[in-house]
Structure 1
Amino acid sequence: MTSVTLRPGGPLLSGAVYGCLLNVQEELDRLGDAINQAPYHGAPSGPVLYVKTANTQIAAGQPVPIPSDVEQVRVGAALGVVIKDTLTRAGVEQARSAIAGYTLVNDVTVPHDSLFRQPLKQKCRDGFCPIGPGLVDAADLPDPATLTVRAFVNGECRHQWCLDQLVRPVATLLADISDFTSLYPGDLIIVGVSPDAPLAGAGDTVAVEIDGLGRLENRLVSEGEDAR
């Protein structure tokens, strides 16, 4: 298997990091009839994106600081897709060809209910996006829909889900995003997070695993704690 080690201790990617809400079927199912009410008025016709700002990005093994006003966070075990070619209004096959590779992401999030606005306060705290430890070439994982995503807390698997549950499969998601915003080399897309993402708090060690991609592990620490 060909892999490229992501650069530790600094910026992990050269581009933007986007996450996608409501791209796991269970998320939509749990909204029930509420999806037809304001402000949704039906299932989304396109991807619902949010950003993981540069301050969130850390490497495998680095501590995730938990702010003093936060008791627990959700361990958002997810697949990350790294782009190698510019995509603008692309078709599905063009989008598939533009995938450089895949990596592990922990989309750490403060629990919240509202989807009415960008969840920046809940998703963009310092260190809330561990990425890595490596980038696996797309040719070595031709069908990500067959992969299972697992979330661990203190060595125990607390939740797993399969990527065949995505509302928009990986290449379709990239193509649909490119309809309204261009994607560039070095950008990373978090394809979705299960609504059953487990909770963890300061002092816990959390990990993400996907078969063929390895293990991304980080310790949660109280903000300001020297974890070394």
Structure 2
Amino acid sequence: MKLVRYGPKGAEKPGLIDAAGNLRDLSGEIDDIGGDVLSPDGLDRLRALDPESLPNVDGTPRLGPCVAGVSKIIAIGLNYVDHAAEVGAKLPKEPIVFMKATTSLSGPDDPIEIPRGSVQTDWEVELAVIIGTRAKYVTEATAMDHVAGYATANDVSERDFQLRRSGQWVKGKSHDSFCPLGPWLVTADEVPDPQALKIWSDLNGERQQDSSTEQLHFGVAQIVSHLSEFMTLLPGDVIVTGTPSGVGMGQEPPRFLRPGDVLEMEVEGLGRQRQVCEAAS
């Protein structure tokens, strides 16, 4: 299934995309895409519905982040072999973990805000993992049982804030609009191998990143199991798994986002995003 949240910011409704690509309203069946809805039983209940019996949503409404009730956004750094090489870093022995504020969540086509004082706002297309059931001290063998599905994400990063403003990376990762998520939450049964997906990004129509999740240094099961050693993962939690080479910081000379720039990006099968950059008000 492809699950979506549509409508004005802060007032999104749940929906799904049917086999013909039409948006169907789920608000008569569930309150939102989150919580118990993401459990195996909750998803099975949605699968049992006849999409044609659901109201069709006319037009092209705004899409919000594809999951609600997110308690935390956890990100993995330097997790692509090609990206580590482009920034001159060694591959880590275990996942590098940092957090993004939940207020950074935005819809897949919402504008990206260039923060006040920013000089190095950068893009990072990533595979996002959406947790479906509580996970604490889970093994790699059972980790995938806790995954509801996947989405395209953009781990927008202000490199100057991230690397030279002291403290943890979170300063450069958490501005409003710095985590566009969606358009869809694609359930895990439709993504048999999350480590075999094409992943790319374009800036102003020019290809920047062009890789595959085959390049992931730590795979999804490893990441979920590892994180569950240090924190309890809850339904709706979002894990962004790292970005391939082609980010602005890794180019020569470096290239960063400016108001008016247009980003497009996609993870194979998970839908495309498009964001226009604008100065933060």
**TM-score normalised over the length of structure 2:** 0.70
Instruction: Give 1:44 deviation, angstroms.
Output: 4.1
* 1:4 is the counterpart of 2:3: yes
Q: 2:209–2:245: 8 Å Cα contact kept in structure 1?
A: no
Gaps spanning 5+ residues in structure 2: where?
Answer: 11-63, 249-255
Instruction: Give 1:5 deviation, angstroms.
Output: 0.5
Task: Kindly report the root-mean-square deviation, in angstroms, between the aligned alpha carbons of the 2 structures.
Answer: 2.2
SS of 2:106's equivalent in the other structure is strand
Give 2:132's aligned residue. 84
Q: 2:158–2:172: 8 Å Cα contact kept in structure 1?
A: yes
SS of 2:148's equivalent in the other structure is strand
Give the partner amino acid of 1:20.
I
Larger radius of gyration: 2
What are the Cα deviations for residues 15-44 of structure 1, in whole angstroms up to 9, with x where unaligned? 211111122223444676x75xxxxxxx64
Gaps spanning 5+ residues in structure 1: where?
Answer: 36-42
Greater share of strand residues, 1 or 2? 1
Q: How far apart, in 2, do the equivalents of 1:28 and 1:178 lie?
A: 24
Give 2:181's aligned residue. 131
| Among 58, 63, 69, the residue aligned to 2:106 | 58
* 1:216 is the counterpart of 2:273: yes
Q: How far apart, in 2, do the equivalents of 1:101 and 1:204 lie?
A: 30
Q: How far apart, in 2, do the equivalents of 1:146 and 1:25 lie?
A: 15
Instruction: Give 1:64 deviation, angstroms.
Output: 1.4
Task: Report the more deviating stretch, 154-163 or 114-123.
Answer: 114-123
* 1:18 is the counterpart of 2:18: no
Instruction: Give 1:156 deviation, angstroms.
Output: 2.6
Q: 2:130–2:147: 8 Å Cα contact kept in structure 1?
A: yes
**TM-score normalised over the length of structure 1:** 0.85
* 1:200 is the counterpart of 2:265: no
Q: How far apart, in 1, do the equivalents of 2:115 and 2:163 lie?
A: 20
SS of 1:209's equivalent in the other structure is strand
Aligned length: 215
Give 1:179's aligned residue. 229
Instruction: Give 1:47 deviation, angstroms.
Output: 2.0
Give the partner amino acid of 1:97.
D
* 1:106 is the counterpart of 2:154: yes
* Identity fraction in percent: 28
